[in-house]
Amino acid sequence: MSTHRQDPLAQVSDFDIRLLRIFRSVVECGGFSAAESALGIGRSAISQQMSDLEQRLGLRLCQRGRAGFALTEEGREVYHSALQLLGALESFRTEVNGLHRHLRGELNIGLTDNLVSLPHMRITHALSRLKEQGPDVRINIRMIPPSEVEQGVLDGRLHVGVVPQAGALSGLEYQPLYGERSLLYCAVGHPLFYADDAQLDDERLNGQDAIAPTFRLPSEIQAHYQALHCTASASDREGMAFLILTGRYIGYLPDHYAAFWVRQGRLRALKPATRFYDLSLASVTRKGRRPHLVLESFLEALAATT
């Protein structure tokens, strides 16, 4: 009846790798005593570790005693195999660390329109850092309404989005980024453009043709639109700007976005001390998403910007 000898290293554990590192140092130092300073442990501890390794392998690796240190034939074979194994582990570590330093892949990001004129520039700075980290990363930006951004993140078409924060949707995570202020504007040609603010009572303002957004907003902000006589709608802020610039409507726009036309004398804010609202913008990602190094690097860069 034949017997099958069990493989002494059916699985290589962290403990085995540690012992092999010590064995390599002992061989390269030429003995236990010389390896003490290199390993930072005493001779007796090294001797015990070598005995543990020999027991694990079922082989005699070296001769030690008054005649000095010498590898056995099996010890030389194990030493060369250990060099291959430890070298492969080091190559693996270097390559994985290299993935962090040299990112590859894509970042699909969906943005609410007209964020580029925000003075904070956090998104711009984070994209710059991402490209510096990973020159080969492909960045794909979609400028779409907030509802489409959230749906794109939910169904996986987008890795991340930036939207006005109007209550969390199930399955999404939101991280506040910054806030923006929106004022009530009219354009040249509108009857209120040259009116004195003191003459603009609520009844007169609320009677003007106005624009309502079709994207989600917090209830306290929706109240600002409910007070107006909304006879038009727009899915994004650029659409609202188009209608306001006709000179036929009034409507709310972010002040940073409207500033260009204000400087040109084409837009003016109506009663800015009282007719305004503040909106928080947030990054949005999917809950329970799979690990994605490019996305995580972008989110880290976004959190680091101020």
Give the separation between CA 100 and CA 118, rounded to whole angstroms. 30
- Tell me which residue of 204, 255, 251, 260 sits closest to 232, measured CA to CA: 251
Bridging pattern class, strands 138-143 and 209-213: unpaired
Q: What is the per-residue pLDDT for 2?
A: 46
Give the separation between CA 99 and CA 97, rounded to whole angstroms. 5
- Tell me which residue of 139, 265, 116, 249 sits closest to 192, measured CA to CA: 249
Structure tokens at 56: 């694990």
Give the separation between CA 250 and CA 237, rounded to whole angstroms. 13
Give average pLDDT by consecutive 10-residue segment, the chain, 306 residues: 55 83 87 83 87 88 79 89 84 66 84 72 88 89 87 91 85 90 96 92 94 89 94 92 97 94 96 93 89 88 80
14-82 under CATH 1.10.260.30, yes or no: no
> Is the four-CA dihedral 180, 288, 300, 126 of positive or negative sign?
negative
Are residues 225 and 246 in contact, defined by beta-carbon separation less than 8 angstroms? no
Bridging pattern class, strands 229-234 and 172-187: unpaired
Q: What is the per-residue pLDDT for 63?
A: 83
Are residues 145 and 176 in contact, defined by beta-carbon separation less than 8 angstroms? no
Give the separation between CA 102 and CA 137, rounded to whole angstroms. 9
Are residues 73 and 103 in contact, defined by beta-carbon separation less than 8 angstroms? no
User: Cα 154 vs. chain centroid, distance in angstroms?
Assistant: 16
Give the angle 141-145-147 at the CA atoms, nearest 5°.
110
CATH class of 103-305: alpha beta
CA distances (Å), 115 to each of 108, 154, 221, 224, 237, in order?
17, 22, 19, 22, 10
Residues of the chain with CATH 1.10.10.10: 14-82
Flag whether the pTM goes above 0.85.
Answer: no
Sequence-separated contacts (24+) of 74-78 with Cβ below 8 Å: 75/27, 78/23
Q: What is the per-residue pLDDT for 113?
A: 73
pLDDT tens per residue, range 84-134: 888 888 777 766 666 666 678 899 999 887 776 666 778 888 999 999 888
Q: What is the per-residue pLDDT for 35?
A: 83
Give the separation between CA 297 and CA 133, rounded to whole angstroms. 8
